[in-house]
Structure 1
């Protein structure tokens, strides 16, 4: 069984969709701990759901390095196999990232390498792009820069505002993040310290509703592998 630690800072919608997927789709995984760097809605939601939670406040530490070390220790104590970032709004330092190389996964609301950082939806509209979406990637020391695991795209409509586009992309996020977890549990994908190897290029193992939603928009990184 895969043990997850989830790092959050905000609403927690992706954390909840992972928890729902584990329960509804009988994924061989468990959320060992939900960790936040501040008090937030997501921590309350996780606790209400019966998940173990811990708040490790940045303000309690003199430096980012010390704060990162405390979070790393907490993750190790819960024996997590993977760390999923789900709206964790802080940059993790290289010392932290290197400790979890190949185990640290982020979801980002753009088709990386486009629109790294914040305000991705407004920037996509301002740039006039026709296609936008979401990326799942391994985390390295650079911002939104690690090897791609999987992406999903959608067409930007002329009527889209940043708020509308964000909502549409969020629907994709709630499909693609659980699919990556399903794939890890089924050993259909291998995450390395410096890359990703897919052993299938189909939505194998995904529930029917997820296959219907993702099939038109999923983007596999370089076919079978991305190194």
Structure 2
């Protein structure tokens, strides 16, 4: 059985990209990463991809006068690669509804909160300010509504007295590195599917759930 071809979109250092690369190299993996694209030429994740012999390129959004021009260029690159799945791994661009709808059911994102809580930015500081006792991360299908697509999986971490946003972020990141590869494997293998806007795992509505086992 052929492996699902994956394209990863990044903007930064690429720690989640590395977790995905490591998972893809396992003998029983259902996916392979064929291409990495960054909207920032200086992104460290590009070097990670190159070291893993994965095609990598930068498409600097700042070189385009309008968002629509950047999205058109990005779509052309994606369509040239023809991936089965498109993964956003720290890709810090909000894409238009037209762009997202073009890849509906094929694009996945990871977000550093237990969605639907704390959509958007500064999730760790907001979780601490809200006084919640559990935080975490979510992998979800990307749709036209930011951070509102159907959830494929979530991982929880406790919040302890004295936590800072930085400490909490590091605890969540460990779980991101566990969760994202598991969710991608589930989708690539056909175990997880998007059906009428909902996630089904092994034929049942729902997704992957992980607890902090540190």
Q: What TM-score, normalized to structure 1?
A: 0.86
Task: Note the C-alpha offset of 1:186.
Answer: 2.6
In the alignment, the residues of structure 2 paired with residue 164 and residue 126 of structure 1 have an alpha-carbon distance, to the nearest angstrom, of 14
User: 1:4-37 deviations in whole A, cap 9, x for unaligned?
Assistant: 0100001100001000011135302111110011
Task: Note the C-alpha offset of 1:135.
Answer: 0.5
RMSD: 1.9
* Matches for 1:124-203 after TM superposition, within 5 Å: 124-192=127-195, 194-199=197-202
User: 1:72-111 deviations in whole A, cap 9, x for unaligned?
Assistant: 1111111101110000001011111000001110000000
Runs of 4+ aligned residues of structure 1 deviating over 2 Å after TM superposition are 191-195, 214-218
User: 1:36-92 deviations in whole A, cap 9, x for unaligned?
Assistant: 111111112211221101111112222111111111111111110111000000101
SS of the residue aligned with 1:24?
A: coil
* Matches for 1:25-40 after TM superposition, within 5 Å: 26-39=28-41, 40=43
> Number of matched residues?
207
In the alignment, the residues of structure 1 paired with residue 182 and residue 176 of structure 2 have an alpha-carbon distance, to the nearest angstrom, of 10
SS of the residue aligned with 2:186?
A: helix
Unmatched tracts of structure 1, length 5 or more: 202-210, 219-227
Contact 2:49 2:55 in 1 (8 A): yes
Contact 1:101 1:193 in 2 (8 A): no
In the alignment, the residues of structure 1 paired with residue 48 and residue 196 of structure 2 have an alpha-carbon distance, to the nearest angstrom, of 32
Contact 1:102 1:193 in 2 (8 A): no
Task: Note the C-alpha offset of 1:217.
Answer: 5.5
In the alignment, the residues of structure 1 paired with residue 16 and residue 152 of structure 2 have an alpha-carbon distance, to the nearest angstrom, of 17
Does the alignment pair 1:54 with 2:57?
yes
In the alignment, the residues of structure 2 paired with residue 46 and residue 193 of structure 1 have an alpha-carbon distance, to the nearest angstrom, of 34
SS of the residue aligned with 2:25?
A: helix
Unmatched tracts of structure 2, length 5 or more: none
Match of residue 95 from structure 1 = 98
Contact 2:155 2:210 in 1 (8 A): no
SS of the residue aligned with 1:125?
A: helix
Q: What TM-score, normalized to structure 2?
A: 0.91
